[in-house]
Structure 1
Amino acid sequence: MVQSLNTAQITPFHQKVKSPLTKQKITVLQINLGRRCNLACTHCHVEASPKRTEELSPEICEQLIEIINRFEQIETVDLTGGAPEMNYGFRPLVEAAREKGKEVIVRSNLTIFFEPGFEDLPEYFARHQLRVVASLPCYLQENVDKQRGAGVYNESIEAIKKLNQLGYGNDPNLILDLVYNPGLPVSNSFSLTPDQQKLEQDYKEYLNERFDLKFNNLFTITNLPIGRTKQYLQRRNLEKPYLQFLEENYNPVTLPQLMCRNELSIDYLGNIYDCDFNQMEGLPAKMKNGKNLTVAELLKAESLDVIEMIQTASYCYGCTAGSGSSCGGSLI
């Protein structure tokens, strides 16, 4: 669906929402373990790469384990990066969370399985019953390699085969989800992400017929104008038109399901944000007294529910356009 753009200014998101966007009970911790990655994808909002060295410290890791142990209300620990598996703290956090009976999500690029020292990851994932959310931005090789680098598609297919052999996609305790990202626009003829259910069916049919692969769910995620995507759009003078397009497609029905409502996003320094996108744009979560929130402050407060108002920006239109977008795919 392509919309014509107008030349009006972008409405501040908090004005569009009209009533304040407030937190609900926190049930999800999403932890960015660092920016080290074996890939450097063109759409990466984290701007991760093999050259990045930022990662979790032992001190912050211990604080996070204390939070996992202390707060029963946490249902899910969502580990991301970079390639989370490459950064300090990955396995200690997995094991602490699983010991407390939490669901653990690992956001994997799949190709990490073929890096020296990480060959045991598929078995490790299965042993700890991790939910794998894996980037495969298209089921066609040309589109994947264009976004993520030559050879990534073939390695991703081989990685899914390994996971399938261990029971992923079949065993109800071994969930494998794939993530679709649209290609970056080359002009101002923008379009929303495709219908998630229909595209999931297309993925399943193609991957099953071509490679005999199985997976559970497909998540469609809108490219937000932050990180490398923002830089790409700015180079082509497309950032403002793209934001206008997202605003034109704003859908208030998405608001109750936004991932920022019940999630804390934590960076490798222990700073806390309402979502991963705010983290990448340096927009910290605020306590009721206006102070920036950290993991240490949570422990001191003995509560996860210390945020009243969610911090918003113009890129929030990316999560609320059309069917909505989140780390778990479309919202409606």
Structure 2
Amino acid sequence: MVTLNSQSIIPFTQTTKQPLTKQKITVLQINLGKRCNLACNHCHVEAGPKRTEELSPEICQQLIELINRFPQIKTVDLTGGAPEMNYGFRPLVEAAKKAQKEVIVRSNLTIYFEPNFEDLPEYFAKNKLRIIASLPCYLEGNVDKQRGKGVYNESIHAIQLLNKLGYGNDSNLVLDLVYNPPIPRNENFSLTPDQIKLEKDYKTFLWDNFKIVFNHLFTITNIPIGRTKHYLQNQHLYVPYLKFLESHYNPGTIEHLMCRNELSIDYLGNIYDCDFNQMENLPATLPSGEKLTLEKLLSLENLDIINEIKTAPYCYGCTAGSGSSCGGSLI
């Protein structure tokens, strides 16, 4: 396995010339667990059908208390794994909607065809959930290569079901799609395509071939963690890929980074600056250095207690080119 030579990559905060700092927290991104009906080869969470880790009733209740206690929270962003498969999904949806928060569900679309989950499209529409769905390409071969045979056709069918319910047409039923580039197979690296142009290509192809509509396309860089990291290490591409991302650092992305105004919470109740730090086990800490947990956050009665955001070499992935976040391009 290739290890990262600390001398080969410039520390992120040395490049930015100052620490990354938090702004007012308005977003909670909650990873409900690692259970998923798919095992995609680019998954940074390393989720799959054999994983059993998920939210506990105790942590779920603490999350509901957090949502109810802090009016400054505007968005509750539910992810996984397949968030819908993990304990606490519906209680969190209903608590957040009752508290008048925007609720995002990050869906793989194929979950709608699994036993006991067939009612999800109607449930999403009833609760006016914003869906951000993975469709890493508009071509069948590319999607199935990344996510598994038959995933493309199921995804198309799922979007058609959502369209029939009003998603993509009704302003209260927002459906966004996510593009992921293929994992690099050699040192011919590239940044994600222009988001606006690619969105037009997606919309044209999906309408012409399937009469599908959606709201926005988000282009997301493959961050070298999880299964992507393992693959790159095995191919001796990990350090070269990080160097490529570092060489395309764009300071204009810093203001819009998702870690600036969000907290990422795992199924155990630990707090992180972002989902990527969560997967790399880089927890957020108090100024004293104490590890931050959901229980601690509730006892302090303050969401805005993190001074500096923890950074790592993979932060160059979010700041390369036009930038990348859970909401797509930053610039």
TM-score range, shorter chain: over 0.9
Trace 1:124-163 onto structure 2 (pairs within 5 A): 124-163=123-162
Trace 1:304-323 onto structure 2 (pairs within 5 A): 304-323=303-322
* Distance of 1:261 and 1:273 partners within structure 2: 12
Note if 1:212 corresponds to 2:211.
yes
Trace 1:28-47 onto structure 2 (pairs within 5 A): 28-47=27-46
* Distance of 1:245 and 1:228 partners within structure 2: 19
* Distance of 1:329 and 1:304 partners within structure 2: 25
Aligned-pair distance for 1:140? 0.1
Note if 1:276 corresponds to 2:275.
yes
Structure-2 residue corresponding to 1:291: 290
Aligned-pair distance for 1:9? 1.6
Structure-2 residue corresponding to 1:223: 222
Structure-2 residue corresponding to 1:27: 26
* Distance of 2:184 and 2:318 partners within structure 1: 17
* Distance of 2:256 and 2:184 partners within structure 1: 27
The secondary structure found in structure 2 opposite 1:38 is coil
Structure-2 residue corresponding to 1:51: 50
Aligned-pair distance for 1:289? 1.2
Aligned-pair distance for 1:132? 0.2
The secondary structure found in structure 1 opposite 2:200 is helix
* Distance of 1:37 and 1:127 partners within structure 2: 23
Task: Write out the 4+ residue segments of structure 1 that deviate beyond 4 Å after TM superposition.
Answer: none
CA deviations 1:127-162 (Å, max 9, x no partner) are 000000000000000000000000000000000000
What is the identity percentage for the equivalent residue pairs of Structure 1 and Structure 2? 74
Aligned-pair distance for 1:288? 1.4
Structure-2 residue corresponding to 1:198: 197
**TM-score where L is the length of structure 1:** 0.97
Aligned-pair distance for 1:122? 0.1
Q: For this pair of structures, how many residues does the alignment match?
A: 325
CA deviations 1:221-254 (Å, max 9, x no partner) are 0000000000000010000000000000000000
The secondary structure found in structure 1 opposite 2:263 is strand
Aligned-pair distance for 1:20? 1.2
Note if 1:74 corresponds to 2:99.
no
Aligned-pair distance for 1:186? 1.0
Structure-1 residue corresponding to 2:252: 253
Structure-2 residue corresponding to 1:105: 104
Note if 1:164 corresponds to 2:163.
yes
Structure-2 residue corresponding to 1:4: none
* Distance of 1:290 and 1:308 partners within structure 2: 11
CA deviations 1:87-120 (Å, max 9, x no partner) are 0000000000000110000000000000000000
* Distance of 1:189 and 1:287 partners within structure 2: 41
* Distance of 2:238 and 2:179 partners within structure 1: 21
* Distance of 2:13 and 2:51 partners within structure 1: 34
* Distance of 2:300 and 2:310 partners within structure 1: 20
| Gapped regions of structure 1 (runs ≥ 5) | 1-7
The secondary structure found in structure 2 opposite 1:210 is helix
Structure-2 residue corresponding to 1:122: 121
Structure-1 residue corresponding to 2:86: 87
Note if 1:189 corresponds to 2:184.
no
* Distance of 2:192 and 2:99 partners within structure 1: 36
Measured on the aligned residues, the alpha-carbon RMSD in Å equals 0.5
* Distance of 1:179 and 1:271 partners within structure 2: 27
* Distance of 2:23 and 2:106 partners within structure 1: 24
The secondary structure found in structure 2 opposite 1:42 is coil
Aligned-pair distance for 1:262? 0.1
Note if 1:328 corresponds to 2:327.
yes
